[in-house]
Amino acid sequence: MSVIDSFKERYKTAGGYAEFLKISIPLIASTGIEAVQLFINKIFLSRYSQESFIASTPAGIINWSIVCFFFGTLTYIDIFIAQYYGQKRYKEIGPAIWQGIYLAFIATCIIFLSSIFAKSFFMSIGHPYDVACEEVKYFTTLCYGSFPCIAETVFAGFYAGIGKTKIVLIVSLCGVITNIILDFCLIYGHYGLPNMGITGAALANNISLFIVCIIYTVLIVSKKNSNIYNTRNIKPNFTFIKRLLCYGLPNGGEFFFDTIGFGIFIIIIGHIGIYELAASNIVATIHHILSVFIVGCGMSTSLIVGKYVGKNNICVAKSSVQSAIHIVSLYILIVFFCLILFPNKFIMLFASSEQSVLLDKIRPMLFNLLRMLAFYLIFNASNIIFSSAIKGAGDTIFIVKKFILFSILFIIIPTYISVIFLKLSIYIAWSFVLLYNMALSLSFYYRYKSQRWTITHLIGKNNQ
């Protein structure tokens, strides 16, 4: 069989390229426009003040480290919905959404409490005073918007789980456009609105997410969805909540330890110097943009694997993983050579009159870090696809154990020792991040090949 014939056969079959792209393209686009929004947010802040730009990454990461535990726990609801959908248990889908919303309310109360300690925390981590003040503003305001942030992923999980990812894209686009407009108005104080700087950036994010939640609520409780999926049944179901927490909490733990490990890493980098911190912020932003495609493919892998595991068709679930690997490998090949050959093209995205002096001083450092990022993305792609595959079947305990162990062993401890005690360079610190992803990638690959994930029972065969 020729390569072309093999491609055509895989394109059309269940779990093939066509099915994967149908699910993944809207999710990639949705994640992509959100990354673009974050990037534009960074550009606005970089042109507002250097302190605001530098503060936005560590404060944003620490906020996300707290939020992402609950976000990760409740985003797992789309796997439940995908498996319910695969078993045609449609009437159980709607009530599941509202159990996630109840948990989002509880999570919000916990996150609010963390904002109380923001000032004492950021003033004690060793960053310059002006930067620390901006970090406090950004972190605290983002905490106030935690409910729509978490609830949005629950609502999006409804449409992602039933395969209608185009709706997720459209709603995300509405939110991002609103966010960018509000960023422009609230950061700089245009059109009669107050000049709020970094606080305005966080407030714009909160308002746009709240609008997104309203749109989702109106769509989900429509008569059509109610008739098919029972979406107006808001009665608490503690049996489902218990099951969601059982599988979702490890997923939240994965999000938390992956993010907190990198958050601590960025804080430690700040002890090397302000230029190293600025360079790391830029590389982290570029990484976020370039990872959008991979993350979208990972989300799609989990959903498709979840659907076919729900149908008890492991063979097609494995075929969908192979399709994901082929598509992501092609993307990574292109990105790798772009980062190696044209690093300055990525750096120039941050060029402005306000940032020109800073960029000139850190440009050689950025060249080296972007080349390291090229290798990092190879292992990060493998990590995401294989972890998403076993996650789609419900094998979440294994994943969180590895994230906890490896984030401590390969990022937090060695970075702290190398920077704080040994005073080594930023390149040594970033090499630990690369090593961390290599370890995760190999671990999830061998777990996938062992096929232990195929025996996980997420929702069972009967109604709960």
Measured CA to CA in angstroms, residue 174 lies from 38, 177, 178, 213, 291 at distances of 15, 5, 6, 11, 22
Confidence at residue 337, expressed as pLDDT on a 0 to 100 scale: 93
Residue 2: per-residue pLDDT: 56
> What per-residue confidence (pLDDT) applies to 462?
47
- CA 146/CA 152 separation, integer angstroms: 10
Cα(387)–Cα(380) distance, integer angstroms: 10
Q: Residues of 408-423 as b/e, b for ≥16 C-beta within 10 angstroms?
A: eebbbebbbebbeeee
Alpha-carbon dihedral sign for residues 448, 449, 450, 455: positive
With tokens 């609103």, the residue in question is: 178
pLDDT of residue 43: 74
Q: So what's the pLDDT on residue 352?
A: 61
In this structure, how many other beta carbons lie within 10 angstroms of the beta carbon of residue 333?
11
Contact 440, 379 (CB under 8 A): yes
> What are the CA-CA distances from residue 287 to residues 155, 159, 192 (Å)?
27, 27, 35
Mind giving me the DSSP string for 89-102? -GGGHHHHHHHHHH
Contacts of 191 (CB under 8 A, 6+ apart): 185
Domain ranges for the chain: 3-455
389 alpha-carbon distance from chain centroid: 16
58 Cβ contact partners less than 8 Å away, ≥ 6 residues apart: 127, 135, 263, 266, 267, 270, 277
pLDDT, averaged per 10 consecutive residues of the chain (464 residues), comes to 61 74 76 70 75 77 81 83 83 90 90 82 78 84 87 88 84 87 84 80 88 93 91 89 85 78 79 82 83 83 80 82 89 93 82 64 87 92 89 79 87 88 87 91 90 64 46
Look at residue 305 in the predicted model and tell me its pLDDT. 83
